[in-house]
Amino acid sequence: MTKHLLILSVFLGIIAQMRSQEVVMSLQNVVDRAMLQSIRSEQVKNDILIAQWTYKAYKAGMLPQLSLAASAPNLNRSLEKITLPDGTDAFVNRSQASYTADLEIRQNIGLTGGSLFVRSNLQRIDLFGTNASTSYLSSPLNISISQPILGFNAMRWQRKIEPVRYDYNQLLAVEARENIRLEASRLFYEVLINQINAEIAEKNKAVQDTIYRISQGRFEMGKIAENELLKLELIVLNAEIDLERARLDLEITTRELRDYLRLGSGSEITLLFEEEFPLVDMDQQKAIDLARKKQSSVVQRELRLLESERAIAQAKAGRRPTIDVFASYGLTQSGADVPQVYTNPRDRQLFTVQFNIPIFDFGQAKSQAQAAILTARNTQLQLELDQMEFERDLISRVRMFKFLQDQLLLAKQRDNVAAKGFEITRQRFLIGKITITDYQLALQEKTTAKQQYLNALRNFWTGYYEIRSLTHYDWINQESIE
């Protein structure tokens, strides 16, 4: 008795485990799961973080940077050539160690493209040998500025471009998330259509088997001819082929959906066929206005124009003279120990001006500038074309969506009418009032109407999610997507 109970409990456990692997999902369930745990959703989250960290790195680069550079020790024991006071050269033995520590605060000046430095430096030299000694050199405070004049200011353009690039990446992320919804809905209906096709094929196979058995009885009673019975047998064989094909299509698309949602390989997915759908009021002009404000292509246009202007500025700067100014003021002192080098420090001043004046380059700089100007103009023209094409495409999609919504309503009516018509035909066939040909036509009409209804549902939802992505707007709930 105990053994039988143990076997029963194990069997029930297996059944429970098999049931736990079955996943029943609606369209909304599939979309939500794809948004939460699909591989693409994780990639989008990472893209958002990459954009945020990149922008933070840019912002941090405009703030003061503190650094410490040190060399401890720098040992040198070698023979080196030196020039003596009388002008002759000689090799002498050099044996020393040096130590350096340099603390620096650097601030880039975005408006002018220059840099401001504040440094503190300490050096030590140890000489080895018979005349061993130690000496120190300090620069407690040293303020320097490096400023290019008339040159290309890369930091100024960076301040213009990077915020726009960040906005562009944020909008791309919104559209990528909406594309996840689009792909999830597409996969949902691929599986659902194949799931219902498999159910239809199973029912059709069962019906054809029943009709064939009834027709065998009629043939034996001499009510139908042999060729008609052979036609029915052929229909049964075709129904078997259709069933196997439908099951294979279902298996392939189910595996694709399972992988997209990152479900376990043992999960059995059953999709719910929800016949209810929202009626969406979509205004064409509102869609265009929303896209002009929030579509990534609009911000991309601004970004590419800025990059073109930067290229022109850089090319023109190559034709102009450049002047680099470096100025430094600080304190310095040397001594035999550390306290000495910080006692009564002396002034330390540096001022340097460097010129670079293009004289003749056979027109290279001018050609580069003209090429940059024409490239920028072509970029602007292409962006205008892209914007016009985008708006035309959006208008077409909005009109097509309205058409798809009307077609969906008609497809639902056709499905209901075909289902009722088939049921009447089936009852009349069972009592021998109509021929097998009429019955097969009614069955085909019912199957076709159901498939057209499913295709209309798929086209409706994919069209809806496409427009959501283009406008960044939830048309069902009438709210913006951020």
The whole-number pLDDT of residue 17 equals 45
- Tens digit of pLDDT for each residue in 307-350? 888 888 888 877 788 888 889 998 888 888 888 888 888 888 88
CB 151 within 8 A of CB 172: no
The whole-number pLDDT of residue 375 equals 83
- Pairing between β-strand 268-271 and β-strand 22-25 as defined by DSSP bridges: parallel
Owner of token pair 């065998």: 216
Mean pLDDT computed over 237-263: 92
The whole-number pLDDT of residue 165 equals 92
Give the residue from 252, 241, 251 showing the smallest Cα distance to 205. Answer: 241
Q: Is the pLDDT of residue 23 over 60?
A: yes
Mean pLDDT computed over 441-450: 87
Choice between 206 and 265, residue whose per-residue pLDDT is larger = 206
CB 25 within 8 A of CB 270: yes
- Tens digit of pLDDT for each residue in 372-430? 888 888 888 888 888 889 889 999 999 999 999 999 999 999 999 999 998 898 888 77
- Tens digit of pLDDT for each residue in 206-239? 888 887 887 788 777 777 777 877 888 888 898 8
Give the residue from 411, 403, 406, 421 showing the smallest Cα distance to 452. Answer: 411
Confidence of residue 87 (pLDDT cuts 50, 70, 90): confident
The whole-number pLDDT of residue 74 equals 84
The whole-number pLDDT of residue 44 equals 92
Q: Is the pLDDT of residue 16 over 70?
A: no
Sorted by where each starts, the structural domains of the chain and their CATH numbers stand as: 22-61+157-294+385-480 (1.20.1600.10), 70-109+114-151+323-357 (no CATH)
Q: What's the mean per-residue pLDDT of the chain?
A: 85
The whole-number pLDDT of residue 456 equals 92
334: left (phi over 0), alpha (psi -120 to 50) or beta: beta
Confidence of residue 3 (pLDDT cuts 50, 70, 90): very low
Mean pLDDT computed over 120-138: 86
The whole-number pLDDT of residue 21 equals 67
The whole-number pLDDT of residue 351 equals 87
Q: Is the pLDDT of residue 13 over 80?
A: no
Q: Is the pLDDT of residue 15 over 60?
A: no
Q: Is the pLDDT of residue 104 over 60?
A: yes
What percentage of the chain has pLDDT greater than the value 90? 31
The whole-number pLDDT of residue 356 equals 81
CB 175 within 8 A of CB 298: no
Adjacent-strand bridge partners of 147: 325
- Tens digit of pLDDT for each residue in 446-463? 888 988 999 999 999 999
